[in-house]
Chain A
């Protein structure tokens, strides 16, 4: 199966704030990640996030999901990725889980952007992902437990 699909959707209302949660799952391939992101964007729009917030979330999640595809699982044996989203008026919390290799050092890298001040032939063609994730999220946490990676990305949402 290559398509990300929505397994679970529920909406609940509280007195003051509306909270919505969704779980999406896919196998860790580039094309399945793309399908998942396209579906997620539709959900975020339907949940009335601004286009700016939608872009912020999609860029950060794309980097986090691509990291799992490229680094957590062997290319010839892609495993599963599960993504749980919880949306309130002011915050979107995304919990990404996989059973692949742990992050080196058990922390998300924090090395900043690669240098771009050299000559053209030395310009970087990668190494932007974690910097984008850190810049675009309000909070970022990582936990390795029982053979599972759990990366949590939180976004403070600007009003539409």
Chain B
């Protein structure tokens, strides 16, 4: 699965360049996430703005990616589209993750 990693001094943004994290994609997503978070800052933000659909297998893969992080690192979410937000809400996983409504507000402004 195509994940784009953008490093910032205090966080890494990982953008999922795929429309679905579903049962057919869950293993590829988990593998790609393991590689993408192998090192880097404590905070990882998963940008889901291109993802229109997540099923329970995809949800499980996102939880697995969070659990895979070392203690002291965290996985936040951003850019949830309506169906994806609904799956997180109905499973109450929206209470486990910090979900940022606006990814742009997280990104530090360029200075100079």
A residues at B contact (CB < 8 Å):
30-31, 33-34, 37, 51-52, 55-56, 58-59, 62-63, 66, 69-70, 113, 116, 120-121, 123-126, 128-129, 131-132, 135-136
Contacts and interface: CB of A to CB of B under 8 A. Distances in A.
Contacts of A124: 60, 63
Give the interface size bracket for B toward A: 20 to 34
Interface string B34-47: 00000000000000
B92 interface: yes
Contact of A59 (B24, B55, B63, B67): B55
B20 interface: yes
B90 A31 contact: no
For chain A, what secondary structure do more than half of its interface residues adopt (helix, strand, loop), or is it mixed? helix
B9 interface: no
Contacts of B67: 120-121, 123, 125
B74 to A, nearest CB: 9
A51 B54 CA distance: 15
Contact of A136 (B55, B64, B66, B90): B90
B96 A132 contact: no
A66 B96 contact: no
A52 B90 CA distance: 14
A18 B95 CA distance: 41
A126 B83 contact: no
A72 to B, nearest CB: 14
14 contacts: A30-B23, A51-B82, A55-B82, A55-B83, A59-B55, A62-B53, A62-B55, A69-B23, A116-B93, A123-B96, A125-B67, A126-B60, A128-B59, A132-B87
